[in-house]
Structure 1
Amino acid sequence: MGSRDLISSLPDEILGKVLSLLPTKRAASTAVLSKRWNNLPALVDKLDINDAIGGPGGFPEFIDKTLALLTNSTTIKRTSLNNEFQYGESQVNTWIRSFLERGCLQLYLNAQSLYTIDTEFFTSNTLVELTITGGFSPDGLLPPGGVFFPKLKTLSLVLMTFVDSDMYELFISGCPLLEEFLLRNDEIEIPPVWNALVSSPSIKRLTIVHHFPNYREAHDGCWFRTPNLVYLDYSSYVPDWYEVDLGSLVEARLDLRSWERLRDEKAGGYGDCDSVYDDEEYPDDPILGDVTNLVTGLSNIKTLHLSPDSLEVFYFCCKSMPVFHNLLTLSFESAKKEAGQCCHFSSISLLT
């Protein structure tokens, strides 16, 4: 009995879904199977473009050919571009612009080399989720009306740079419907570019990782102007002051790290507050940072998670501690006794 090509008998729509599960270079290679498969790559709704598959040789030509196949395709739901090798900046900008012009809903950009994104054309009326990792830096003229992505709901910026704080603020304000924002900036070899400001009336979930112990000036102050924020995950060395608008916050996860005194390696860990940080042993070691306004802004939350460092910061860097009347759940990596010494709660469930 002869073999049957059952997969080729499937409808084009089903085959398009199957090909969408493959890396795009693998999916494109199926065009050699038969004439019917020549146009099937145009039916994919997800692009996974990675130069680690096959190396950089012929990679630009492959992308150009793929984009040409997609000229009359349906909406691309998700596009992922991973560049481990260096390519021409104008070429990379052309690829990104093409992804956006094809109505992409989700876009993931990752590069090992540095590329400047031409902001004048970095815009889309369909994009709802954007992740940028590594060597991309937006710069240039603003898109029409200053709006980058009018429908964007989720934005993740990981180890990304901005030419200045103005471009960062314009980029965030150019996403008027943004609800989830993640910013990770902890590459200690690169000077920080975040200006410690998050200002948006639409953001509901916020994750910030900002670790620059070698750049004390990067922690002068911090603003959270987010009146509709309901969830905050925040990890940073303590700045000198906070200005916050967190009236809607329900849950917070804090990893606050203080400076000279609280990260003294001689302590050998975080044990009893009085024994580890004895005033006689460290008489001239100042406590830097002030979390008073931040803690006050958290006083209406229902759930609070504290790292051991945060508990020490609460103890040493908060001038006055509010009563957390609405707090129902408190979790931390320390002893319950210490938590009781540092904080005042009405009715809580302690999780350690």
Structure 2
Amino acid sequence: MGGKDSISNLPDEVLGKILSLLPTKLVVSTWVLSKRWRNVFPLVDTFDHRPTTTPGGPSFVSFISKHIFLKPSTHIKKFSLTCQPGEHSNCLIQTVLERGCLELHVQCNLTHSLGIIVFERNTLVKLTLSDGLHLCNHKQNFDVRVDLDRAPYFPSLRSLSLGAVSVGADLFKLLIWHCPVLEELFIRDDDADLSTWQGFVSSESLKRLVVSVVNLPNDDVWLFAPALVFLDYSSCVPCYFGEVVLDSLVEARLDVRFWESPTDDDDDDDDDDDVCGYFDGDVTNLVAGISNITTLHLSPNSLEVFHWCCKTMPVFNNLLRLSIESDKEKGWQIVPLLLNKSPNLQTLVIKGLVHKVTNGCGDVCPCNPSKRRKKRKRMMKEEEKEVEEDEDEDDTSCCLWTCQVKFLEISGYRGTRREHKQMRHFLGKLKYLETVNVGLHQEVKSLSYLRVTSDLKKLRSVSPTSQIHFL
């Protein structure tokens, strides 16, 4: 005789919760086990509809519609739908919403039109639309103007995600305006031909905004979110940032980039004013709008854009943590100004120390443009070292001398000559340093580990209490 069936002895409500955690295709297969399991099936509240058929042959939609959706007592908590051509997706979504669905995910394998009218009645808390959906304002005619009086209302929606969805400007604004308690908004475009992001957000309840797009359909970007706490923005720099109201912002991660990177034919004769005038775009309002934050993360692209396209740099009185990412093709021209404008900065995090050498790097690094570098190569190593140490002692005008940074974190350290000079520069100027964490690059093998760490430990620090730790 077989062993005892412990699972079948569990209460129906418990079995329903267990089945809700399994793939829906597997859940459907339990229908053939016994009549008992047929009674359990309606208690499942999570479904994932993908193109498939049950072992008996009927399509998934037909099976679910017959045994679940036609029963008014069925409650659906979470439903994921992959639309297919020829399927009645709109009717299926409406039926799901009538069952009190709280979380809905809709995506497509091929381009598919979805009328926004299907959301006319809903209890949704989380909505995700992605991958090929064409969101229109009418079931059949895409050209019908949006009727704001009849537009769907999302009274409970707190999280909205639009990923690679085609949506017009009016409909995009309508979605945001009709979500009175929205807290999270995620926008993603993977293709330059799509137009999900319309360069506009206006919400008094929004707390988290993540934008990652390839293109900008509009010349201007407007952000009105006075309750926003977290901003993650990745896009090309627009011609102009309009109103930017982010009064409650605590943390910002920015990757604002040019359509084409600025290039200097002659690194020795950089003329910031001439090069700056060549680029369209202005991020002055964006920078001013984030001036109250405590944590700021900047990509190499953002450092470049801030330098060329920010007319005035505000004072970041509340900034405690600044994180920048370096790139050998991007300069550090804006970093000295950022440090000077951050009087209360406590933590400086840098991913990679190698950056493009220009005349605008300022005194935050010991770099020299090519002519000076070639000239110094003619000197003896001992003389070069002596000159550099003298400069370290005499240059009290360096922005690092007044910098309040106590915690310095470097990642991706390889131990090259340039990186070593940069570390010596930091340790010799940051007089309030207490802790230096150095994360070694994975290419630093065990044989060179001792050499790299030993060289760093030998560096002289202007702060007598600073300690170096290796990660």
| TM-score, length-scaled by structure 2 | 0.65
Unaligned runs of 5+ in 2: 139-145, 351-471
The farther-off stretch of 118-127 and 330-339 is: 330-339
CA distance in 2, matches of 1:156, 1:296: 27
The 8 Å contact of residues 41 and 69 in structure 1, kept in 2 or not, is answered as no
Larger Rg: 2
Cα gap change, 1:225 to 1:2, in 2 (>3 Å): closer
The farther-off stretch of 110-119 and 95-104 is: 110-119
Counterpart of 1:233 in 2: which secondary structure?
A: strand
CA distance in 1, matches of 2:122, 2:61: 26
1:151 corresponds to which letter in structure 2?
Answer: S
Counterpart of 2:69 in structure 1 is 68
The 8 Å contact of residues 106 and 128 in structure 2, kept in 1 or not, is answered as yes
Counterpart of 2:17 in 1: which secondary structure?
A: helix
1:1-352 aligned within 5 A: 1-51=1-51, 58-68=59-69, 70-73=71-74, 75-83=75-83, 85-88=84-87, 91-136=88-133, 137-140=135-138, 146-162=151-167, 164-188=168-192, 190-212=193-215, 218-243=217-242, 244-262=244-262, 275=267, 278-279=270-271, 286-334=278-326, 338=333, 340-343=335-338, 344-348=341-345, 349-352=347-350
Unaligned runs of 5+ in 1: 268-273
CA distance in 2, matches of 1:230, 1:299: 13
Give 1:279 deviation, angstroms: 4.5
Cα gap change, 1:340 to 1:51, in 2 (>3 Å): same
Counterpart of 1:149 in 2: which secondary structure?
A: coil
Give 1:53 deviation, angstroms: 7.2
CA distance in 1, matches of 2:126, 2:173: 18
Q: Percent identity?
A: 44
The farther-off stretch of 316-325 and 134-143 is: 134-143
Counterpart of 1:271 in structure 2 is none
| TM-score, length-scaled by structure 1 | 0.86
The 8 Å contact of residues 196 and 223 in structure 1, kept in 2 or not, is answered as yes
Counterpart of 2:129 in 1: which secondary structure?
A: strand
2:245 corresponds to which letter in structure 1?
Answer: D
The farther-off stretch of 192-201 and 289-298 is: 192-201
Give 1:259 deviation, angstroms: 3.0
1:341 corresponds to which letter in structure 2?
Answer: P
The 8 Å contact of residues 24 and 47 in structure 2, kept in 1 or not, is answered as yes
2:66 corresponds to which letter in structure 1?
Answer: K
Give 1:260 deviation, angstroms: 3.0
- String of CA shifts for 1:182-222, please: whole Å, max 9, x gaps: 1112312x24253210111111110111212xx7xx24110
The 8 Å contact of residues 245 and 289 in structure 2, kept in 1 or not, is answered as yes
Give 1:277 deviation, angstroms: 9.2
CA distance in 1, matches of 2:149, 2:218: 34
- String of CA shifts for 1:44-103, please: whole Å, max 9, x gaps: 121122226779972432342354365322x321111124x4233xx1100111111100
